[in-house]
Structures are given as structure tokens and as C-alpha cells.
Amino acid sequence: MNENNLITPEEIISISGKFTIGNMKTAAKVAKMAKVVFDGDGLLWNYLRVVQCIFEAGRIQGIREERQKKKVKSGGSAK
């Protein structure tokens, strides 16, 4: 496991069934857009790029959520 990743592939698979309709709609939009953006490369390579984009988006989402919590806790306003 990469030292920057705090979640294992096994943990990711174990939560794969826990989703919301909103998240599925977002994932569908990402997949549709990625098909256009990544067109022309090999199918497996494109699939891995989409998975990486989603993984990175989740990481960024988590960072932003934690920053928002800290901001609210310190008296700032949440957006």
C-alpha cells in the first residue's frame, strides 16, 4: 500500500455496496465524461484512469469535509 493511502483495497471493496443515489448519479456523470475525455486509449487503461479519478475525488472530498469541520468548530461559517 502506498504510504499516502490510508485505506486498503480490501477496505474499499468492503464499502462498495454502501452508496447513495446522488453518489451513483455523480459516478455515472464522471463515467460518461471520462469516456469522451479518455477516448482512444486502451479499455483497461481508461477504466483504471476513471477509478483513479474517483479515488482522488474521494480523497479531496474527505480533506474538504475535515477542513469545513475545523472551520465551523473554530467559529467560521460553513459553506
Interatomic CA distance for residues 48 and 28, integer angstroms: 15
Q: Which band of pLDDT confidence, cut at 50, 70 and 90, is reported for residue 7?
A: confident
Query: 45-73, pLDDT tens digit by residue?
Result: 878 877 888 888 888 888 999 999 998 88
Q: What is the DSSP letter of 75?
A: T
What single-letter DSSP state applies at residue 7?
A: S
pLDDT tops 50 at residue 1: no
